[in-house]
Amino acid sequence: MKIKCLAIDDEPLALQQIKAYIEKTPFLEVVALCQSAFEAVDILATKEVDLMFVDINMPDLNGMDFVKSLTAAPQVIFTTAYSEYALEGFKVDALDYILKPISYEVFLKAATKAKNWFELNQRQAETIETNQGCLFVKSEYRLIRVQLADIRYIESANEYIQIHIINQKPISTLLRLKNIEEQLPKNKFMRVHRSFIVNLDHVNVIERNRIVFDQKLFIPIGEQYKEAFQAFIDRTFLA
């Protein structure tokens, strides 16, 4: 497994150093490099990112505020020249916090911590089993059986996902959206946004590039998922 990485730093030399370290590390892969948080927003909207290396001290929008603003952030390793942000970094569940100047040894230690986290997450995914229209998922030390037909949509919530079920409270489990997506039948479930998978049988109203479940619940259709979703609409559309 290659961990897809996004590096954000307003200093070009620091950004190139992180890029070189990522390329030197066999289990990491560069997705994009950004010199501002605003550039990163566009990348996250169009590309799959597992891990971000984020500088904190940046103009306009600093890295800490940027991560806090994300509703479904990838995992984060903060990079900075200032140690006073460390406690705040861990409050937003950052995997690590490394101080500049960054040696490859320090970088590799942080990257390995991220690798271990993703491997643990993958093992959690292996607790999912689908059988004859149902899903068994681990939540709070219990295995819970969920009927696939009763799932309305699945939402990413940082390192957790929430499975939203008809007439029940959502079930939270320590999984990535990609892991559960691979277990679901492709003819019934579709990823329509980097943070959402929907049950196509429950899609009844679509307006302005979003799925309407009820008056207060709208799920956006992400740019990179529009073509596949439109193909589903075309297959079922009566002119």
Q: 29-82, pLDDT tens digit by residue?
A: 999 999 999 999 889 888 889 999 999 888 878 888 888 888 667 889 999 887
The pLDDT value recorded for residue 92 is 65
Query: Is the Cα dihedral 116, 117, 120, 126 positive or negative?
Result: negative
CATH class of 3-124: alpha beta
Q: Residue 14 — very low, low, confident or very high, per pLDDT cuts 50/70/90?
A: very high
- Return the CATH superfamily for domain 129-236: LytTr DNA-binding domain (2.40.50.1020)
Q: What is the mean pLDDT of residues 165-179?
A: 86
> What residue segments make up the domains of the chain, in order of their start?
3-124, 129-236
The pLDDT value recorded for residue 5 is 97
| H helices, E strands: number in the chain | 7, 16
CA dist., res. 136 & res. 158, Å (int): 21
91-124 confidence digits (pLDDT tens): 567 889 899 899 999 999 999 999 998 887 776 6
Torsion of CA 40, 50, 157, 216, to 10 degrees: 50
CA nearest neighbour of 19 among 102, 118, 114, 109: 102
Q: Which two tokens stand for residue 5?
A: 């990485």
Average pLDDT taken over every residue of the chain: 86
The pLDDT value recorded for residue 78 is 93
CA nearest neighbour of 221 among 186, 195, 199: 195
CA nearest neighbour of 226 among 41, 46, 42, 21: 46
Q: Which two tokens stand for residue 87?
A: 């406690």
Residue 123 has a CB neighbour count (10 Å cut-off) of: 9
Q: Helix (H, G, I), strand (E, B), or coil: what is residue 147?
A: strand
Q: Is the pLDDT of residue 210 over 60?
A: yes
Q: What is the mean pLDDT of residues 171-189?
A: 85
211 CB-contact burial (10 Å; exposed 0-12 / middle 13-18 / buried 19+): buried
The pLDDT value recorded for residue 156 is 87
217-234 confidence digits (pLDDT tens): 889 998 888 888 888 888
Angle at 153 between CA 187 and CA 178, to 5 degrees: 70
Query: Is the Cα dihedral 49, 50, 56, 57 positive or negative?
Result: negative
Using an 8 Å Cβ cutoff, are 164 and 130 in contact?
no
pTM beyond 0.85: the answer is no
Q: What is the mean pLDDT of residues 86-95?
A: 63
Q: Which two tokens stand for residue 151?
A: 């799932």
